[in-house]
Amino acid sequence: MKHNKTVHDTTMQFLSQPGVRNHKIRVRPSKLVSLLVAAAAISGSLAAEVIEERIGTQYEPIRLVRVVDGLEHPWSIAFLPDQRMLVTERAGRLNIVENGAVTPVSGLPDDIHARGQGGLMEVLPHHDFENEPWIYLTYSRGDADGTATTLVRGRLQGDELMDLEQIFTQDRKSGPGRHYGSRLAWTTDGYLLMSIGDRGGQPPRAQDLGDHAGTLLRLTETGEPAPDNPFMEQDDAHPEIYSYGHRNIQGLIVDPESGEIWSTEHGPRGGDELNVHTAGGNYGWPVVTLGRDYRTEGPFPHAEARTREDMIDPVYELLPTLAPSGLALVTSDRFAHWKGDLLAGGLRAERIRRLVIEDYEVIHDEELLLGKIGRIRDVREGPDGYIYVATDKRDGAIYRIESAR
């Protein structure tokens, strides 16, 4: 069986138990999306440029449209309730994109350190933005001596962030440049997930519950630990941690029906993972990994084995190397044959992987857009039902994938 394809005519309900484990990724499209599709499609097409009119795939012929270009290493895409798009540029800019026009947003942090993989990264509106107009941003805070993955929020008023406040920063700075993690997602019970990478230099930090590196955090909307987090009562553990043993999570979604948390994360050479998260789970890095050492192609130096009974194996190893970044769950009726599938973007691989999952097993894996637009940094389903993709280039762009039926 594929994920549930039944269209439910009800609204999303928050689950009382985080990390509930059902046997399917289920999809509940919103009525609001259906009502806004026509208007959004018209307004979004005004400045768009068709790059390829028809690209064949196994089930859904698609059209590739460039929405906006001239962005410097765009990192994250998000949408406001009025259909405007938010886009971060790693160099330290946040933009509002509307009908192809780019408006910079002022009021950002003044200590963004853009170097290597760091800079301004994720953007995510509050889950109840119309009543709580907060915008959440992650960035690498610090200087050439050390940086920390940091979370701030500000109220969006016009093209300015007001009342900017730092609500979380990891406990320890590291040499700048690598493995910041930095994806955000709202859980169905209203908490904020935030990934932090192992920061590259000392992989065993990901096994230390007294260190934020190599973890997935679960926070309140004000940056405090969620009150029922798994390590709240453990003296030697940070209470924000939800799961640990991660190398660098850069794709993150929450299934709106089941509440399940899915992620993609970087392995070393090989070993890129698709995971579903369990509260308190240890995902093994670097004690266990399916990847290899970059230099020797032998076993990774800190690894004891490829798997271990007391550590959680990935649902799927993304081979050949994907270098994952950006993950979306297809809920739209626009892509009937993809509905319920995951779309995993790839940086080094320059492609999207469409993953069909049944009972926590990937039963089909299709390659999309191989080499057509370059390194893929983010993949999102828009409120209009289309798929939006950001490319990681000095002259980067946002593309829209449409059905060509």
The residues annotated as belonging to the active site are 179
* CB-CB contact of 257 with 25 (8 Å): yes
Q: Could you tell me which residues come within 8 angstroms of residue 122 by beta carbon, excluding any fewer than 6 positions away?
A: 75, 76, 88, 136, 137, 138, 182, 183, 184
Give 104's strand partners: 95
* CB-CB contact of 278 with 312 (8 Å): yes
Concatenating the DSSP letter of every residue in 133-199 gives -EEEEEEEEEETTEEEEEEEEEEEETTEEEEEEEEEE-SS-B-TTS-----EEE-TTS-EEEEE--T
The 10 Å Cβ neighbour count of residue 370 is: 11
- What torsion do the CA atoms of 245, 347, 361, 219 make, to the nearest 10 degrees? 40
Q: How far apart are CA 318 and CA 265, in angstroms?
A: 10
Encoded amino acid at 371, one letter: G
> What 8-state DSSP symbol labels residue 116?
T
Alpha-carbon dihedral sign for residues 116, 351, 138, 168? negative
Residue 39 backbone phi and psi in degrees, to 5: -65, -40
CA atoms within a 13 Å half-sphere pointing along the CA-CB vector of 339: 16
Token code pair at residue 107: 């009021």
Q: How far is CA 326 from the centre of its chain?
A: 5
Encoded amino acid at 6, one letter: T
> What 8-state DSSP symbol labels residue 395?
T
